Structure 1
Amino acid sequence: MSGIDGKKLHLGQYSLSYHIMIVLLVIGMIFISMVFFILYYQEKHAIQSDYLLSQQYGEESLINAVQLADQSFSFYDNVYNQPLRLALLRFREYYNQSHQQAEKMDLFKIRNDIGTFFDLPIDIYIINASGAIEYSTFDTDIGLNFSSYPKFSEKLRKIRDGDTIAYDAIVTGTKLGEERKYAYIPTPDHRYILEIGINLDEFFRKEGISKYPRLAMWYSKTRNDVKSLWIFDRTVLSAPDIRTSIQGIEVYPAVFSEVEGRKEHLKQVFHTKENLLIEDPSSETITKYLYIPQLSSSSVSSGLFDKVAEITYTTTQIRERENSLLGKIILLAVIVILVFLMIVVAITRYITRPVYQIVEDIEKIADGNYDHQIRRTKGFEFRRLESSIQKLVLRLKEDIISIKQKSNELDKELNQRLSAEESLKAANYKLSLLSSITRHDILNQISVVSSGLDILEDDVPRNEETPHYFSLIRDAISNIHEMILFSRIYEEVGVYKPAWQNLSKIIIETKKSLNTGSCKVIDNTGNLEILADPMFDRVIFNLIENVLRHGGKVNQISFDVSMSGDKCILIVSDDGIGISSSDKEKIFDRGFGKNTGLGLFLTREILSLTGILITETGRPGFGTRFEIYMPPGKWRISPGDAVPE
């Protein structure tokens, strides 16, 4: 970050260049992250797509290879068709010789006789009308019922009802999994089907023919992500041991192991004829059950010996490729970010350099050098800024000179006012002291006059006018005394700041200081507080005392509150004789009344100090009603319980 005379230009806590750099870095990081995220996603998708496409091509090749391998056995099919035809005709002759009673036929003897047509072991079978093998030299297949294979059962029915020999392709035995070649011929009475099966398993072992293991070995070599490959046909659904249904199990390149749910998965694929995918993240493998349909042919078992290839793929290699891709992307991103950071630093320095230059010039001007010129910088906007600052400095210079002049004038005026205020304070103090002394002396003289009047009253001869004159003199002395006391009280009005005062407390204290007699003072003000002069208690005193003195026979005085929004009215009412309509405003004038006429005058003066108004709204003959209007901010309701009396 740039500096100015060792000081950094700060916007808040950090410099302008820091803020610009952070903004550019945030924008750049977001953009770079998005670009590399998209790049990584696309490359990862490409790796997965290539892998899936390669897998798809490999599986299609495997399907074609299995189908071609099945077709490649057609040579052996054709070689054994002629011996099977001759053997089946001899088999049917034996059936006729037994008077078409299958139970009387010696199948082992017949097998030995017709076995001379073949160089491989054979077995013979008699299939009844329900599609089950009723008699056979191969005990394992006796009782095998083909009705569970509807298509194959329908073909057997057609063979039994016909009069021709039907040849089957080389298929896998349903019990022990041997490779066999079958042929069928109906009996003349169409009750049975006579069947001969050539066991080619020994021949294939001797000749080293193992089509499916060879294909498994080929597929495993072409793809290094294959852990195992097993090819099953429908015999797996009825085989007591699933191993017996795997042709050439010992030749397969992988070691056979039991897999949980394998038979259920195979059943599902054979039933739905759709591929099934089973993922196992713990072992990083994916097992795919690939459906391989049997190519259609004229053989009896056509469509019955489709296959399912169980292929177990490992996902380790594709994960390694994805991790390698991620590492390359991160490394490339770090390099790009470092380059971008250097570019941001260079751009930031280039952008903020004119700003720092202008700030340096402004600091020199701020230190008092108003004649310092703003240096020229690059950029139209900065030149406008320089020109504006220069104009501002000139005007500021003029304003400062003007302010200094006015400041000097104000200092002189302030000194004069302070001197006048000190003089006024001294005068007020002297007047206050003089008033205090004068009041004291007058009161002393009044005491002398009052004492002299008492003596004189005893010595002066009595007549009709004498008591009247003495009463006037005593009233005059009392009024002078009241006025002197009023001057002392009035002198204190407005001297101190207004304060919040609890109305209920003042009413309670006032009741204690006055002899209310049988008159009840009812307080309904609750926790109302009023912002008024500290002499507000004199207001309450004057209102109660005025009612007691001039209200006639008064039974009660009530203090009530009326609120509306932010307005509040304190209502002081009684049940006395009231005030005439003509005197409602006069009662607040100084000197009006039967006595000194200063009580209500003082009340209005004390309230006016805080903007509080007082009026009298009672009906003559029904008592007085004083309404005290308190503006917003001059009253409040304090929390807590009401003040107890």
Structure 2
Amino acid sequence: MGRESQERPALPFILHLTLAILLATAPVVCLISFVDYVSIRQELEATAQEFQDQTETGIILSMDLVDTGLKIFDGTLNHRMQEKFEPFLAEYERAGRDPAAMDLYCVREDLGEGFDLYIINESGIIEYTTHPSELGYDFTAIPYFYDRITEIRLKETFSADRIVPEIATGEIRKYAYMPTPDRRYLLELGFTDPDLQQWRTMLEYRDTAKELVDLNPNIDEIRLYDSLGTLISGEAHPDDAHRLILARQAYQEKTTLEVKSAATGELIRYLFIDLTDSDYASDVSMVAELTYSTKVTEARFADMLSQHMSVLLIGLVIIGCLSAFAAHLLTRPIRMLVADVNAVAGGDLDRPIRADGAEEFVHLGEGISAMVTALKGTIQRLRESEEELTRYSHTLEGEVKDRTAALEESARMANLYLDIMGHDINNANNVAGLYSDLLLTGLEEGPEEEYLRKAKAELTRSIEIIRNINTIR
């Protein structure tokens, strides 16, 4: 296993610096992008809401404008309708003010084609009529209308009504009212004509509303309900019963209701359009059902988010490139110092240390230059010491040789002297031994013989000592 020195090297400083710059700038860029996205989203939502309000206001104003045009058209028939009440009232008087005795069909023939007669009693019920499908209809089911016709019945003047669909068949008719002199009944005339239908259709609420809706891509559909809750424009839906309840609620409360579908994400608004006119009995106010789709808005948000993400990604890439370039420029002095230090470490002590850039890098270069100068001085002193040691070792070696030779000569001379001395001592010992042997031959046993033998023994011992010394040497 390798030691710590064999561990993987650290990442380059330029990479650390690049990552540091990215970590410092990327969150700021992301925050700015997020704030910009939220701001634009809020602006789009506000614009969409403003567009929605403008569309709805435009629908109301357009409906009011169409209604004004229809009023003008309706007004062209008022004088004609008023004249037709003269034979109607004359027949009422002829029958003794008894509706049962009136010949309504004869009066209708006198009035001309397209007219129908109605007699409404005090209870608001159509008691007599030439239009059987509406015989017996009770207007108390429509409280505001019953109150209005009761008010007309109690007056003495003619009152024209609007061109509206009849309740039974939905056929477009022009209506007008005249109270009987005794205030017991309210006489009503209804008029229809193909030309009336043609001119009336030239101004249609639904066409005007559709033109405005087509300008708003967020609206999928518009449907119109009249004051009775009858769908007068738009296609049928499976949940029409629930929608009708909301439309009637919006009409009764004379407000705008809003319902959001969690399943489809659609927003349905029931917009009350007030077209009430106190001069007319019928209320032509209506409720517009607007179905808003969030698909267009969500698509815009998704596209905007995609654009922001793309711009953010491009921005991060640009920042990364600029960070790398900036890091390269910022680390250039360090790379130069590293190259010079490596050259010095390789033995090139004369390599100049380049230092430029920031003040800190200049100080660092100056410090390294001072360190290299000191190192060169130290190396020079070490070299001088080494030369001195070399010279001293050479001198010492000569002295050692001389002294060794002198010692060897001294040892040789000492050995020579010892050899001579040993030889001389041995010769003396040998002569002394010979004389002692001669003396022993002539002596008898006695003290002198004993002393002489001891002296011979010491001579023998001296000879042995000299021999041992020569052996050791």
TM superposition score normalised by structure 2? 0.66
Name 1:376's counterpart in structure 2: 355
Whether 2:155 is the aligned partner of 1:162: answer yes
Deviation at 1:32, TM superposition (A): 1.9
Whether 2:86 is the aligned partner of 1:105: answer no
CA-to-aligned-CA distance 1:344-370 (integer Å, 9 cap, x gap): 001112222333444555667778999
Name 1:305's counterpart in structure 2: 284
Instruction: Tell me which amino acid in the other structure corresponds to 1:61.
Output: G
Name 2:447's counterpart in structure 1: none
* Equivalent residue runs for 1:224-373 within 5 Å: 224-236=217-229, 242=230, 245-246=231-232, 255-260=235-240, 261-280=242-261, 283=264, 285-294=266-275, 296-301=277-282, 304-359=283-338
Distance 1:280 1:375, change over 3 A: same
Name 2:454's counterpart in structure 1: none
Q: Considering only aligned residues, what root-mean-square deviation do their CA atoms show, in Å?
A: 3.9
Partner SS for 2:291: strand
Name 1:133's counterpart in structure 2: 126
Name 2:446's counterpart in structure 1: none
Contact 2:174 2:192 in 1 (8 A): yes
CA-to-aligned-CA distance 1:26-58 (integer Å, 9 cap, x gap): 222212222322333344444444444344333
Partner SS for 1:300: coil
CA distance in 2, matches of 1:318, 1:82: 52
Deviation at 1:377, TM superposition (A): 3.0
Name 1:81's counterpart in structure 2: 78
* More moved, 38-47 vs 17-26: 38-47
Distance 1:112 1:287, change over 3 A: farther
Instruction: Tell me which amino acid in the other structure corresponds to 2:155.
Output: G
Contact 1:83 1:117 in 2 (8 A): no
CA distance in 2, matches of 1:204, 1:234: 21
Contact 2:91 2:107 in 1 (8 A): no
CA distance in 1, matches of 2:308, 2:89: 78
Contact 2:108 2:116 in 1 (8 A): no
Whether 2:60 is the aligned partner of 1:66: answer no
* Equivalent residue runs for 1:488-499 within 5 Å: none
CA-to-aligned-CA distance 1:233-255 (integer Å, 9 cap, x gap): 1122xxxxx4xx41xx5xxxx65
Contact 1:228 1:313 in 2 (8 A): yes
Name 2:207's counterpart in structure 1: 214
Identical aligned residues as a percent = 23
TM superposition score normalised by structure 1? 0.50
Aligned pairs, how many?
375
* Equivalent residue runs for 1:439-454 within 5 Å: none
Name 1:122's counterpart in structure 2: 116
CA-to-aligned-CA distance 1:505-534 (integer Å, 9 cap, x gap): xxxxxxxxxxxxxxxxxxxxxxxxxxxxxx
Where does the alignment leave 5 or more consecutive residues of structure 2 unmatched? 1-5, 382-473
CA distance in 2, matches of 1:328, 1:229: 33
Partner SS for 1:235: coil
Distance 1:336 1:9, change over 3 A: farther
Contact 2:66 2:203 in 1 (8 A): no
CA distance in 2, matches of 1:364, 1:78: 108
Deviation at 1:390, TM superposition (A): 5.8
Name 1:477's counterpart in structure 2: none
CA-to-aligned-CA distance 1:533-588 (integer Å, 9 cap, x gap): xxxxxxxxxxxxxxxxxxxxxxxxxxxxxxxxxxxxxxxxxxxxxxxxxxxxxxxx
Deviation at 1:270, TM superposition (A): 0.9
Partner SS for 1:219: helix
CA distance in 1, matches of 2:120, 2:348: 126
Deviation at 1:269, TM superposition (A): 1.6
Instruction: Tell me which amino acid in the other structure corresponds to 2:212.
Output: Y
Deviation at 1:198, TM superposition (A): 2.1
Whether 2:27 is the aligned partner of 1:30: answer yes
Where does the alignment leave 5 or more consecutive residues of structure 1 unmatched? 1-6, 237-241, 402-645
CA distance in 1, matches of 2:344, 2:301: 63
Contact 2:81 2:176 in 1 (8 A): yes
Instruction: Tell me which amino acid in the other structure corresponds to 2:280.
Output: S
More helix by share: 2
Deviation at 1:298, TM superposition (A): 1.7
CA-to-aligned-CA distance 1:591-624 (integer Å, 9 cap, x gap): xxxxxxxxxxxxxxxxxxxxxxxxxxxxxxxxxx
CA distance in 2, matches of 1:273, 1:310: 14
Partner SS for 2:331: helix
Name 2:91's counterpart in structure 1: 94
* Equivalent residue runs for 1:523-542 within 5 Å: none
CA distance in 1, matches of 2:92, 2:331: 112
Partner SS for 1:311: strand
Larger of the two Rg values belongs to structure: 2
Instruction: Tell me which amino acid in the other structure corresponds to 1:275.
Output: T
Deviation at 1:342, TM superposition (A): 1.2
Instruction: Tell me which amino acid in the other structure corresponds to 1:79.
Output: T
CA-to-aligned-CA distance 1:72-92 (integer Å, 9 cap, x gap): 223443333234323334333
Whether 2:168 is the aligned partner of 1:171: answer no
Distance 1:351 1:206, change over 3 A: closer
Higher relative contact order (CA 8 A, sep 6+): 2
CA-to-aligned-CA distance 1:453-495 (integer Å, 9 cap, x gap): xxxxxxxxxxxxxxxxxxxxxxxxxxxxxxxxxxxxxxxxxxx
More strand by share: 1
Distance 1:375 1:218, change over 3 A: closer
CA distance in 2, matches of 1:367, 1:199: 115
Distance 1:116 1:26, change over 3 A: farther
Partner SS for 2:228: helix
* Equivalent residue runs for 1:403-552 within 5 Å: none
Partner SS for 2:76: helix
Distance 1:219 1:118, change over 3 A: farther
Distance 1:234 1:363, change over 3 A: same
Partner SS for 2:28: helix
Contact 2:226 2:285 in 1 (8 A): yes
Name 2:442's counterpart in structure 1: none
